Amino acid sequence: MINRSDRKSDHLHLAINQYDTQNILEDIKLLHNCLPECNYDEINLSTSLCGLNFNNPIMINAITGGTQEAYQLNKKIASVAREVNIPMAVGSQKIALEDQNYQDTFEVVRRENPRGVIFANIGAYATPQMAQQICEMIKADGLQIHLNIPQELAMGEGDRSFQGYANNIAKIIDYVDIPVIVKEVGFGVKKEEISKLMDIGVKAVDISGCGGTNFINLENSRLEQPNLPSAKDWGIDTGSSLLEAVESSYHNLDIIASGGFSRSIEITKALALGARCVALAGYPLHILWHYGQDELISQLEQLLTELRSMMLMCGATSISQLCQTPLLITGKLREHADLRGID
């Protein structure tokens, strides 16, 4: 039986090897404003999520922990997040609950980034006490609870029982005293589940749609006999999932957009659609691995610089103004919206 630490190492290397950029959100068109009447220096990128204030509307999403290599990566990610002044999340901390020797591969992020916004991460199977323990481990500002059913089913050694998750999530929200984000891991979320999550008190959802890292494909590469067919026909693409989430939230839910983001135009579109923040995982991992920490800092700063320019070209000086900018939904995304009764 493969141990959890080996599996994490496989995921990391496979995600790096299979990294590919895709043209997500191509069916959303932002409309140019030729008379924006605002100054570049006035553009304010700050945003907020469940009462947490961020200076910038991008974050590094959950990636890793639980191996020596992950220790080094988490250290670098935390230092990049500190330098660029963006929030970050660690990967699932379950491994550190099972074996204390792995705690340091997570704790390192808080040492490296003492004042930054950092999210803890665990699956929806967790008890409130487990959730509290992993938050304390890294003095987390918020907690991500991941939903990764396709990944579990694709894994030979994965879970097969997913009952009681909504109830668990509700109990965790009641128990921990920091904001909780429920997140997918790359297969998207639709409006029916968003409504259920809102009913149990969830205030923030990271849609993590299809279009970037794909855990069915990652898991299938680890197996001679895959448990699931290739992922190309499964999951809700990032654009469609974002529409589902924005439509169903009616401003009572903070949406984080993720799943395949690597370009400033896509980030601008997601924020214009109503996301509070855009989270990136495969892209920063790829840059960090191949080009190093300084290059990642420079790439993320470039994304923010370009975002500022695009906000100006939309006539928006704040993220809330960017949400008011007119945009067109075309092609397959329009079709998805029509078929699902989304305005």
Name the residues that contact ligand FNR, by CB under 6 A.
11-12, 15, 61-64, 91-92, 121, 144, 146, 183, 185-186, 208, 212-213, 258-261, 280-283, 285
Q: Which is nearer to ligand FNR, 54 or 261 (CB)?
A: 261
Triad 188, 339, 255: Cα angle to 5°: 35
| Residues 118/141, Cβ–Cβ less than 8 Å | yes
Q: Which is nearer to ligand FNR, 258 or 299 (CB)?
A: 258
CB of 309 to ligand FNR, least distance (A): 23
Q: Which residue is nearest to ligand FNR (CB)?
A: 212
The Cα–Cα gap between 309 and 252 comes to 29
Q: State the burial class of residue 49 (Cβ atoms within 10 Å of its Cβ: 0-12, 13-18, 19+).
A: buried
Enumerate residues 6+ apart whose C-beta is below 8 A from 99: none
Q: Which is nearer to ligand FNR, 152 or 316 (CB)?
A: 152
CB of 73 to ligand FNR, least distance (A): 9
CB of 19 to ligand FNR, least distance (A): 8
**Which amino acid is it at 109?**
V
Q: Which is nearer to ligand FNR, 43 or 296 (CB)?
A: 296
Phi first, then psi: what are they for 278, rounded to 5°? -120, 130
CB of 315 to ligand FNR, least distance (A): 29
CB of 282 to ligand FNR, least distance (A): 3
Phi first, then psi: what are they for 224, rounded to 5°? -75, -40
CA distances from 276 to 165, 234, 267 (A): 25, 26, 11
CB of 151 to ligand FNR, least distance (A): 9
> Which structure tokens are listed for 331?
């092609």
Q: Which is nearer to ligand FNR, 27 or 206 (CB)?
A: 206
The Cα–Cα gap between 107 and 343 comes to 44
Q: Which is nearer to ligand FNR, 267 or 316 (CB)?
A: 267
The Cα–Cα gap between 89 and 146 comes to 12
Q: Which is nearer to ligand FNR, 13 or 82 (CB)?
A: 13
CB of 125 to ligand FNR, least distance (A): 13
Q: Which is nearer to ligand FNR, 79 or 262 (CB)?
A: 262
Residue reference for tokens 């901390």: 93
CB of 314 to ligand FNR, least distance (A): 24
Strand locations in the chain (E): 28-30, 47-49, 52-54, 58-60, 88-89, 118-123, 142-146, 180-183, 204-206, 254-258, 277-280, 327-329
